[in-house]
Amino acid sequence: MLIDLDTLNELKEIMEDDFDELISVFISDSQTQIKSLQEAINSSNSEDIRRIAHTLKGSSANLGINDLSESCRVLEHKAADNSLEDANELFEKIKTNCETAISALEENFIQ
Amino acid sequence: MKILIVDDDKTNRLVLSAYLKKDGYTVIAAENGLEAIERFQKDEPDLILMDVMMPVMDGYEATQKIKTMTVDKFIPIIFLTAMTDEKALSQCVEVGGDDFLTKPYNRTILKAKIDALERVSQLYNTVFQQKRELISHYEHEAKEQEVARKVFDSILNPGCLSSQNIQLHLSPMSLFNGDVVLAAVKPTGGLHILFGDFTGHGLAASLGALPLSDVFYSMTAKGYSISDIVREINHKLKQQLPTGMFLAACLVEIDSTNMVLKYWNGAIPAAFLHKGDALVELKSNNLPLGILGDSSFSDKVEIIEIHDYDRIVLSTDGILEAENSEGKMFGPERFEACLHYDLEGSSINNSPKDKDVDLFQHILNTLDEFTQEQEQTDDVTLGVITCDSDYINQLAPQKGGYKKFIPTHWQFDLQFFYDSIKAIDPVPLINQIMGEIQGHQIQQDQLSMVLTELFCNSLDHGLLELDSSIKSTPEGFMQFYSDKESRLAELNSGSIYISVNNVPNDVGGDLTIIFEDSGKGFDISKLEESNLAVDEKSPLKFSGRGLSLVKNYCQSVTFNETGNRIECVYSWSNADA
């Protein structure tokens, strides 16, 4: 599963009206972060890569988007170790994970 | 309970805030460390959830700053972090973090951690609150004691404690240990000293000092003996102090004219007379003051012959009970060993005597060495009084403020029968009557000596038929006093008649004083011989019926033919003028 629907349903139940905001904030924020991440990788700015991967890791984990969170965790660590050989490869994976997650969110939670 | 969420990621804030609101908490949020500090100051949250990596100011710095702002209040801070980096975790603890929470957030764990920290926080804040209360109580009490001390200082008569022959170690707060030291010059010359230790501590222990000093100074000024004074103090304290509160006390009279020490000791454990070559303990034979009723109370004083430069060492139990770091007490043995310091021929103290350190300083030094803490001496009250007769004789009795009197013409006659002689010392009474009539225009020191000498003459030789020539040897000296005591007790007849007449003149007045006893009298023709025999260098020069003191101070001294009536004229000039 790319996204954990149980987690999301629990959140929806708890957050009630705020849940819609959470989803839309995640979608727009994650899209912004993917763009920033692309720029950071292009300029080989490992500090920016680490920070963005860290943030995306945390927010995706909260929403139960575990594949995306895991990919971000790997990139965050590589950036921290300054070993960015396969950064592009990882980025593509993150981008795909993110797009898939957004589609799933839109499909399941946006009326 | 108000919780501050600090996270730069909005989804995190939304999720956390939703969880917390669902559990009934009030939630506020900040996007970075700097904003967190601002929100913290403005909204005073009870707990903070803090992300680590944030722009502008990170979680470490913000936590450190907030913790330094909350020294007297516990604000728990939970770090929001991935539990993967040990270095990052230890840094969280270093800056003052209280717990961690990992993403993704688990609602149950979040609630449990907040609950646990809330309990800790309540505990801390209760302790802080109590600490604040304690500090405020302590400060309040210190302030009260300071005020009380000032009040006491202005009320309590300092007497002659600052005399050169009195060395005193007295904590400024000694009053609140219940320790009291009083000293006053007698109108007839000589010193009265009282070393007291009230039971208990604090203000309550010091309250008894007021009636105590009142009685001590007013009775001393009126010429009463220490046995009269100790009886009155006991009476007053018994009456005024609450049950269970009493005064351990040692009263000492240094009679620098006759060179005798009289003392009454009720439960003062460390009282000694240091005679240079011998140590005499001024033993306590009595219960503390304020316990016994008048009928069972004994005002019997002990008498010891003294010489110049003998020293009286007095201390309350603070010195004996001073503890060292091992909890051992200084104790009576160590105290007594201190006194062997400059005792001639003493084998107890082997340490070489330092000429610059006197006995008083030696005792304090030894105590400091023992306790290893300077502060210990705060509880110690120590006095060393040197019997320097020349110095003591020149000390002037205290005078108070009195209304104006003018010298007038008056006379009073008193007659004391044998039973009242046993109970009353007429000298203070006569002084008191004269004081009532003439105020304190008549300087009482000389006159009291004259009256005392006249009364002793009538009593010792007239009624008790004592032979004062035996006083020339130390054994006889003690014998004399012991004979006096037993004969006085056995006395069952006789009386002494006293008449005092004042004729005013320009500068004061002439007092005609008559003492007539019912005794057999003596051969007055022998008087002249014995007067010639007085040796000025003899310390016992006033023994015998020479009455040289009376002769020195009076214009005329005459006996009747039978020698049982003496009449003298004492001229006085207005002491107020």
- pLDDT single digits (tens) B391-411: 888 887 655 444 556 788 999
Are B345 and B438 in a shared domain? no
Cβ separation of A51 and B53 shorter than 8 Å? yes
Let me know: does B362 contact B338? Beta carbons within 8 Å: yes
Residues of B in contact with A14 (CB under 8 A): 18-19, 22, 107
Cβ pair A62:B10 closer than 8 A: no
Q: Count of CB atoms within 10 A of residue B66's CB?
A: 23
What's the pLDDT tens digit per position in B330-352? 888 888 888 888 777 665 544 55
Say what the pLDDT of residue B498 is.
95
**Which residues in chain B have their CB less than 8 angstroms from residue A7's CB?**
104
Residue (of B366, B354, B390) closest to B315 by Cα position: B366
- Spatial separation of the C-alpha atoms in residues A24 and B573, rounded to whole Å: 113
For residue B386, which amino acid is it? T
- The CA–CA distances, whole Å, from B60 to B16, B35, B97, B181 equal 20, 14, 8, 61
Tokens 């009928």, residue located: B295
Q: Which residue of A has its CA nearest to B82?
A: A58
Residue type, B576: D
Q: Is residue B331 within a helix (H) or strand (E), and if so which, with residue range?
A: helix B331-339
Q: Do A21 and B9 touch (CB under 8 A)?
A: no
Residue of A nearest to B9 (CA): A55
Q: Tell me the C-alpha distance between B531 and B548, whole Å.
A: 7
pLDDT in tens, B14-65: 888 888 888 889 999 999 999 999 999 999 899 999 988 888 888 889 899 9
Note whether A91 contacts B: Cβ–Cβ < 8 A.
Answer: no
In-domain check, residue B139: no
Q: What is the mean pLDDT of the segment spanning A20-36?
A: 89
Closest residue in A to B8 (Cα) is A55
Confidence of residue B490 (pLDDT cuts 50, 70, 90): very high
Beta carbons of B408 and B438 less than 8 angstroms apart: yes
- For residue B457, the 8-state DSSP code is I
Which residue from A minimizes the CA distance to B105?
A: A62
pLDDT digits (tens, 9 = 90+) for B126-139: 888 888 899 999 88
Interface pTM, i.e. ipTM: 0.88
Provide the 10 A C-beta neighbour count for residue A39: 12
Structural domain of residue B282, as residue ranges? Answer: 156-393
Of A21, A57, A64, the CB nearest to B14: A21
- Measured in whole angstroms, how far is the alpha carbon of residue A21 from the centre of its chain? 17
- Residue B293 above 70 pLDDT? yes
Q: How confident is the model at residue B534 (pLDDT cuts 50, 70, 90)?
A: very low
Distance CA B524, CA B565 (A): 11
In a domain, B28, yes or no: yes
Residue type, B461: H
Rounded to the nearest 10°, the torsion over CA B261, B264, B266, B272 is 10
Q: In this complex, which of B10, B22, B105 lies closest to A25 when CB atoms are compared?
A: B10
Quick check: A11 contacting B, CB < 8 Å? yes
Domain boundary among B393, B420, B446: B393
- Give A64's contacts in chain B (Cβ within 8 Å): 104
Say how many domains are in chain B: 3
A9 in reach of chain B (CB within 8 A): no
More confident residue, B91 or B216: B216
Report if residue B136 sits inside a domain.
no
- Please give the pLDDT value at position B350: 45
Compute, in degrees rounded to 10, the torsion defined by CA atoms B141, B143, B149, B154.
-140
Cα B392 from Cα B184, distance rounded (Å): 11
Helix ranges, B470-521 (H): 474-490
B283 touches chain A (CB under 8 A): no
Using the predicted structure, report yes or no on whether residue B92 has a pLDDT greater than 50. yes
The answer to whether position B485 is within a domain reads: yes
Q: Give A-chain residues touching B22 at CB under 8 angstroms.
A: 14
Residue B147 lies in a domain: no
Cβ pair A63:B12 closer than 8 A: no
Closest residue in B to A24 (Cα–Cα):
B11
Residue B281 has pLDDT above 50, yes or no: yes
Cα–Cα distance measured from residue B304 to residue B300, given in angstroms and rounded to the nearest whole number: 13
Higher pLDDT, B211 or B263: B263
Residue B81 has, within 13 A of its CA and on its CB side, a CA count of 25
Q: Which pLDDT does position B378 carry in this prediction?
A: 59
B19 CB near a chain A CB, below 8 Å? Answer: yes
CB proximity A12 to B under 8 Å: no
Q: How far is CA B281 from CA B195, B332, B392, B480, in A?
A: 15, 12, 23, 22
Half-sphere exposure of B157 (CA within 13 A, CB side): 23
Q: Which residues contact B483 (CB under 8 A, 6 or more apart)?
A: B464, B466
Task: Assess whether B206 and B329 both reside in one domain.
Answer: yes
Q: Same domain, yes or no, for B190 and B281? A: yes
Q: Which of B393, B425, B449 is the last residue of a domain?
A: B393
Separation of alpha carbons B170 and B156, rounded Å: 15
Residue B539 has pLDDT above 50, yes or no: no
Closest approach of B105 to chain A, Cα-based (Å): 6
pLDDT at position B376 over 70: no
pLDDT, averaged across chain A: 85
Residue with tokens 């004229």: B569
Residues of chain B with pLDDT > 70, as a percent, come to 89
Residues B244 and B299 in one domain: yes
User: Is residue B66 a contact partner of residue B75, using CB atoms and an 8 Å limit?
Assistant: yes
Q: Are B438 and B494 members of one domain? A: yes
Q: What number of other Cβ atoms are within 10 A of residue B24's Cβ?
A: 7
Report yes or no on B480 lying in a domain: yes
Return the exposure string of B549-572: e unless at least 16 CB atoms fall within 10 Å of the residue's CB, then b: bbeebbeebebeeebbbbbbebeb
pLDDT at residue number B356: 67
Cα–Cα distance, B286 to B268 (Å, whole number): 9
Q: CB within 8 A of A75, min separation 6: which ones?
A: A49, A53, A87, A90, A91, A94
The tens digit of pLDDT for each residue in B173-204 reads 666 778 888 999 888 788 999 999 888 777 77
Residue labelled with tokens 């033993």 = B283
Yes or no, beta carbons of B18 and A15 under 8 Å apart? yes
In this structure, the answer to whether residues B188 and B48 fall within a common structural domain is no
A62·B82 Cβ contact <8 A? no
- Chain B contact set for A51 (CB, 8 A): 53
Q: What is the CATH number of the domain that holds B48?
A: 3.40.50.2300
Are B237 and B337 found together in one domain? Answer: yes
Q: Which of A7-21, B142-156, B420-434 has the lowest mean pLDDT?
A: B142-156
Tokens 């600052």 belong to which residue?
B162
How close does chain B come to A63, measured CA to CA in Å? 8
Contacts of B103 in chain A (CB under 8 A): 57-58, 61-62
Q: Which of B10, B103, B107 lies at the smallest CB-CB distance from A29?
A: B10
Q: Percentages helix, strand, coil for chain B, rounded to the nearest 5?
A: 40, 20, 35
CA distance B16 to B4: 10
| Alpha-carbon gap, residue B308 to B144, rounded angstroms | 44
User: Within this chain, do residues B417 and B497 fall inside the same structural domain, yes or no?
Assistant: yes
Question: At residue B501, what is the residue type?
Answer: N
Chain A residues within 8 A of B10 when measuring between CB atoms: 25, 29
**If DSSP codes are grouped into helix, strand and coil, which group holds residue A22?**
helix
Chain center to CA of B137: 25
Q: Phi first, then psi: give them for residue B441, nearest 5 degrees.
A: -70, -30
Which residues of chain B does A53 touch, with a Cβ-Cβ cutoff of 8 Å? Answer: none
pLDDT band with cut points at 50, 70 and 90 for residue B475? confident
Q: Searching chain A, which residue's CA lies closest to the CA of residue B10?
A: A25
Across the interface, do B14 and A22 touch by the CB < 8 Å criterion? Answer: yes
The pLDDT score that the predictor gives to residue B347 is 55
Q: Contacts of residue A29 in chain B, CB cutoff 8 Å?
A: 9-11
Domain boundary among B127, B147, B177: B127
pLDDT at B194: 94
Contacts of A83 (CB under 8 A, 6+ apart): none
- Name which of A12, A13, A15, A23 to mutate to probe chain B: the one with the most chain B Cβ atoms within 10 A of its Cβ: A15
Q: At what angle do helices A18-42 and A5-15 cross, to 10 degrees?
A: 130
Cβ-Cβ contacts under 8 Å for B540 (sequence gap 6 or more):
B471, B472, B477
Residue A64 at interface with chain B, using a CB cutoff of 8 Å: yes
Do B457 and B545 belong to one domain?
Answer: yes
Predicted pLDDT of residue B173: 64
Report chain B's mean pLDDT, rounded to a whole number.
84
Q: What tokens does B124 get?
A: 């801390």
Residue type, A50: R
Q: What H or E segment, with its residue span, contains residue B509?
A: strand B508-517
Contact A62 B104 (CB under 8 A): yes
Q: Which residues of B touch A73 (CB under 8 A)?
A: 82
Q: Chain A contact for B9, CB < 8 A?
A: yes
Cβ contact A15–B12 (<8 Å): no
Q: Are B12 and B54 in contact (CB under 8 A)?
A: no
Neighbours of B71 (CB within 10 A): 8
Longest CA–CA span in chain B (Å) reads: 127
Residue B146 forms part of a structural domain: no
Residue B208 has pLDDT above 60, yes or no: yes
Residue B404 has a pLDDT of: 59
Residue A26: closest CA among chain B residues belongs to which residue?
B11
Contact (CB<8Å) A62/B19? no
Give residue A109's pLDDT.
77
pLDDT of residue B374: 53
- Do B435 and B332 fall into the same domain? no
Interface of B with A in 75-134 (CB under 8 A): 82, 103-105, 107
Asked, for residue B342, whether it belongs to a domain, the answer is: yes
Say yes or no for a CB contact (<8 Å) between A61 and B103.
yes
CB pair distance less than 8 Å for B11 and A59: yes
CB contact under 8 A, B105 and A62: yes
pLDDT of residue B537: 41
Residue pLDDT, tens place only, B492-507: 999 999 999 999 888 8
| CB-based contact B470:B479 (threshold 8 Å) | yes
Alpha carbons within 13 angstroms on the beta-carbon side of residue A56 total 33
* Interface-testing mutation among A18, A51, A56, A59, with chain B (most B C-beta atoms within 10 A): A59
Q: Could you please report the per-residue DSSP string of B36-80?
A: HHHHHHHH--SEEEEESS-SSS-HHHHHHHHHHH-TTS---EEEE
Instruction: Report the residue of chain B nearest A33, measured CA to CA.
Output: B9
| Domain shared by B436 and B517, yes or no | yes
Q: Hey, is B386 helix, strand or coil?
A: strand
**Per-residue pLDDT averaged across B358-374, rounded?**
83
Look up tokens 């010091």; give the residue.
Answer: B206
Whether residue B209 is predicted with pLDDT greater than 70 in this model: the reply is yes
Is residue B352 domain-shared with residue B415, that is, in the same domain?
no
Place of tokens 């310091």: B341
On whether the CB atoms of residues B5 and B49 are closer than 8 A, the answer is yes
Q: Are B480 and B468 in contact (CB under 8 A)?
A: yes
Helix (H, G, I), strand (E, B) or coil at B148: helix
Are B15 and A22 within 8 A, CB to CB? yes
Tell me if B63 sits within 8 A of B50, measured CB to CB. Answer: yes
